[in-house]
Structure 1
C-alpha cells in the first residue's frame, strides 16, 4: 500500500493546530539509522485509508520528498468525538530486521463445523488479532484460520493453528497457548409442567 507524506518544517502545539485546520495531519517517522522526521499527510486521504485493514498490518511505501521509504503504521491518535486524526506515527522498516506487529485473524468455515451445523453451538471469538514477529518480507496481511473442524465442547488454542512461514506468535507470561475461539453449547430449555387447574367450587347449595 502507498501513502504520500510531506516534510513538516514547523512544530509545536500551535503549528499542529494550524496544520489540522488546513486539512493536514501531523505525524512522525522514526526508527532505523536516521533521525526522527516530522511529516504531514492529507487528512481526508488518511481518514479513508485507515479504514482499510491492510493499512494497519502491511509494509507501506511512503512517498516522501521524491523518495520511497518502507514504513509500518505504529500509532494513531483520534479526536475524542470528532471524525479527525490528530497525529500519526510510522516506523521505518529495515529489510534485515524483524518486525513486531499485530496482525488480524480471519476465521472461516464456522458454519460448516459440526459444532455449529449439527450441534447448534455458538462460537465465541476471543482473539481477533495476534502479536507476531517476522522479517518484513514474511509479514502477512492477515492470518487465516479454518474453524470447520470444531466440535461441541472443544476450543481452538494458539498451538492448534499453523502460522504462515517465517511468522512467530508473541505470547506473554503464562499465556503461552491462549484460547482463540471457544465453543458455547446451546442452552437447554426445560419446560416447567403446568400445574393442574384446581377443581371449580360448587355454587351455593339450596336452603334446607
Structure 2
C-alpha cells in the first residue's frame, strides 16, 4: 500500500496547530540508517487509509520527495472527541532486520463447524491479533484460522494452528494462549430435570385429613350436649 508524504520544516506546538488548520497532519519517520525526519500528510487521505486493515499490519511504501521507502505504522494520535488525526509515526524497514508487528487473525468457516451448526454454540474470539517476529519479507497481511473442526466446549490454542513460514509468535510469558472457544448458548443447554414437587403432595393430604375428621366429629359432640 502506497501513500505520499511531504517534508516538514517547522516543528513545535504552534507550527503543528497551524498545519492541522490547513488540512495537514504532522508526523515523523525514524529508524533504519537515516536520521529521524519530520513529515506532513494530507489529513483526509490519511483518515481514509487508517480505516483499512492493511495500513496497520503491512509494510507500506512511502513516497517522500520523489524517493520511495518502506515503512511501518507505529503510532497514531487521535483528537479526544473530534474526527481528527493529530500526529502519526512511521518506522523505516530494513530488509535484513527482524521486526515485531501485530498481525490480525481472520477466523473462517465457523458456521460450518459442528459446534455452531449442530450444537447451538457461539464462537468466542479470545484473541483478535498476534504479536509476531519475522523478516519484513515474511510479514503476513493476516493469519487465517479455520474453525470448521470446532466442537462444543472446545477451545482452540495457538499450538493447534500453523503459522506462515518465517513467522514466530511473541507470547509475552503466555505458553499456549487460547484463540477461540465454543460456548454453549441457552438453546443448546441440556434441560435439567424438574424437582419432584408432586411427591410432597401426599404428605400434605395426610396432614389435611385429620382436620376433616375433626369437623365431622363436631356434630356428634353437639348431639350429646343436647341430650
Structure 2 length as normaliser, TM-score?
0.83
Instruction: Specify the SS of the correspondent of 2:175.
Output: coil
Q: Which residue of 1 is the match for residue 9 of structure 2?
A: 9
Q: Which residue of 1 is the match for residue 170 of structure 2?
A: 170
Q: Which residue of 1 is the match for residue 55 of structure 2?
A: 55
Alignment of 1:1-208 (within 5 A): 1-173=1-173, 175-187=174-186, 188=189
User: Residues of 1 paired with 2:10 and 2:172: CA distance?
Assistant: 40
RMSD: 2.0
Q: Which residue of 2 is the match for residue 203 of structure 1?
A: none
Q: Which residue of 1 is the match for residue 211 of structure 2?
A: none
Q: CA-to-partner distance for each residue in 1:90-142, whole Å, 9 max, x for gaps? A: 00000100110001100001000011111111110011111001111111110
Instruction: Specify the SS of the correspondent of 2:76.
Output: strand
Q: Which residue of 2 is the match for residue 200 of structure 1?
A: none
User: Residues of 2 paired with 1:98 and 1:13: CA distance?
Assistant: 34
User: Residues of 2 paired with 1:79 and 1:162: CA distance?
Assistant: 39
Runs of 5+ consecutive residues of structure 2 not aligned to the other structure: 199-227
User: Residues of 1 paired with 2:159 and 2:87: CA distance?
Assistant: 37
Instruction: Specify the SS of the correspondent of 1:153.
Output: coil
Number of residues of Structure 1 aligned to a counterpart in Structure 2: 198
Runs of 4+ in 1 over 3 A off after TM superposition: 189-193
Instruction: Specify the SS of the correspondent of 1:5.
Output: strand
User: Residues of 1 paired with 2:19 and 2:133: CA distance?
Assistant: 35
User: Residues of 2 paired with 1:49 and 1:10: CA distance?
Assistant: 25
Shift of 1:191: 8.4
Shift of 1:186: 2.6
Instruction: Specify the SS of the correspondent of 1:107.
Output: strand
Runs of 5+ consecutive residues of structure 1 not aligned to the other structure: 197-208
User: Residues of 2 paired with 1:176 and 1:168: CA distance?
Assistant: 13
User: Residues of 1 paired with 2:17 and 2:185: CA distance?
Assistant: 54
User: Residues of 1 paired with 2:166 and 2:159: CA distance?
Assistant: 15
User: Residues of 2 paired with 1:177 and 1:16: CA distance?
Assistant: 45
Instruction: Specify the SS of the correspondent of 1:150.
Output: coil
User: Residues of 2 paired with 1:143 and 1:102: CA distance?
Assistant: 11
User: Residues of 1 paired with 2:27 and 2:161: CA distance?
Assistant: 37
Q: Which has the higher Rg, Structure 1 or Structure 2?
A: 2
Q: CA-to-partner distance for each residue in 1:40-80, whole Å, 9 max, x for gaps? A: 00000000000000010111110001100110100001001
Q: Which residue of 1 is the match for residue 203 of structure 2?
A: none
